[in-house]
Structure 1
Amino acid sequence: MKKVLVLPAYNAVKTLEATVRSLPAGVFGEVILVDDRSSDGTFELARSLGIRAERHAENRGYGANQKSCYRLALESGADIVAMLHPDYQYDPRVLPFLTGIIEAGVCDVVLGNRIRTRAEALAGGMPVYKYAANRLLTVAENLAAGQNLGEWHSGLRAYSREALLAVNWEADSDGFVFDSQFLFQAAFRGLRIGDIPVPAKYFPEASSIGPGASLLYGAGTLAALGEFLLNKTGLVSTRRYGRL
């Protein structure tokens, strides 16, 4: 099986090299970084590190970056695609376990869960407001979608090729709510979604959105939840949930 790691990057020059150098050896046949028109030299650094780097002509957003990543990975013949934020927040040592669960045929989608326990998450530096919002949204999302995930908002994920072909992610947001929309669609399609714990750390260079943007993200997530329920009950049929 060909495994491809994708790195959706934006102004990640301070953490990219540490992320790449910490990747476990021999797991991925290809590493692809898509730069969302950074202004700090992320694209040039990626190329100097010997990984495949592509660049958007203009800044298009986090979701649009992931779309480019998945297109490139599928075009390269990937059977399993892992996505990692290149901000050195997530411990890459767990990547073989994420891809291994898919390779074994246990799950179609696997997430890294930063919140194994509340004490561990807060001790690792997760802001209290972010922890509280993550918990509340995850509980609501699990109830709506019939899942039991530790969190829905991780920047470490892995997908089978079949999962990426089953979900109409091209219709999803170009912003941060892309991740939740994808998981709701995966649940709607009956894909098997699981997670494993991942150590995470928080520091100034790690990518994060502030309280104001977090409120908008929360509203977008609840809108995605509502759209899922409307489609699940058959009251509406939107493009994201229609036939591919």
Structure 2
Amino acid sequence: MRIITIIPAYNEETAILNVVKGVKKYSDVLVVDDGSTDKTAILAKNVGATVIKHWKNIGKGAAIKTGLKSAIEDDYDFMVLLDGDGQHDPQCIPFLLGGMDGVDLLIGSRFLNMAPQNMPLQRRLSNGITTWLIRFMTGYHITDSQCGFRVISKKAAPFFTGISYNDYVYESEVLCKASENDLVVGERPIQCIYGNEKSYVRARHVLHYLMFTLRLLVRKLLRRI
């Protein structure tokens, strides 16, 4: 069984070393540097990660798609997605992989069987609203639609490489695409570490997500007509 962890990263030089070192204990490592202007790519390569670099910042979704395409080409069986800012504990990788029996996409949930520690209130509220909407649209009984710590099977990965969104909307559209193709989605509980990490979500991203939400509702309505 061949496993690779894909780490989308943008200006994560302060965390990327420890993240890559932690992941290497469990899988091969691919860092997709999404146009960083710091030493993210160099540091990741120095500790043994394969690095693909976007020469300008395109978005987290674009970085994930680049990683998935590379992993599909290299015939990996499972693709773990993990953020590069140190929020996700690589020690959870075996636990998440253990939930992939009969599952196409598994999401690490910060809300399953526990309350997330130190999660900013605005994140908790936005995640709750988004997760409710995704549940309504897809029928998946999930608790955390926005977590970036995921595992994707070889079977499921090709469905997610053609998604048009390049920003944070991508992770929500993955669930919609999974539902449209009758993929099995599961969850397992994880914990995240919240510190002084940077947020790259801007007003334009919020506007883009609102437009995505409207499109979702229209899609739901058209299916009922």
TM over 0.5: yes
2:191 maps to amino acid: P
User: Normalising by the residue count of structure 2, what TM-score does the alignment of the two structures yield?
Assistant: 0.91
| SS at 1:34 equivalent | strand
1:35 partnered with 2:27: no
8 Å CA contact 2:23–2:29 kept in 1: the answer is no
Q: 14-23 vs 82-91, which deviates more? A: 14-23
2:220 maps to amino acid: L
Question: What is residue 242 of structure 1 aligned with on the other side?
Answer: none
| CA 174–214 in structure 1, closer or farther in 2 if over 3 Å, else same | closer
1:137-174 per-position Cα deviation (integer Å, ceiling 9, x unaligned): 11121122111111100010110010012x15323201
Question: What is residue 136 of structure 2 aligned with on the other side?
Answer: 143
Number of equivalenced pairs = 225
1:196 partnered with 2:188: yes
Question: What is residue 173 of structure 1 aligned with on the other side?
Answer: 165
How far residue 53 of structure 1 moved from its aligned partner, in angstroms, is 0.8
Which residue, out of 61, 64, 71, partners 1:63? 61
CA distance in 1, matches of 2:33, 2:202: 25
After TM superposition, which residue ranges in structure 1, 4 or more long, deviate above 6 angstroms?
none
Which stretches in structure 1 are left out of the alignment for 5+ residues?
236-244
How far residue 188 of structure 1 moved from its aligned partner, in angstroms, is 1.2
Question: What is residue 216 of structure 2 aligned with on the other side?
Answer: 225
CA distance in 1, matches of 2:81, 2:15: 16
1:108 partnered with 2:100: no
CA distance in 2, matches of 1:211, 1:11: 16
| CA 224–183 in structure 1, closer or farther in 2 if over 3 Å, else same | farther
**Alignment RMSD:** 2.1
| SS at 1:4 equivalent | strand
How far residue 224 of structure 1 moved from its aligned partner, in angstroms, is 5.0
Question: What is residue 14 of structure 1 aligned with on the other side?
Answer: 14
User: Normalising by the residue count of structure 1, what TM-score does the alignment of the two structures yield?
Assistant: 0.84
Question: Equivalent pairs: percent with the same residue?
Answer: 26
8 Å CA contact 1:137–1:218 kept in 2: the answer is no
1:197 maps to amino acid: P
1:1-38 per-position Cα deviation (integer Å, ceiling 9, x unaligned): 2111111110011111121222372x32x211110110
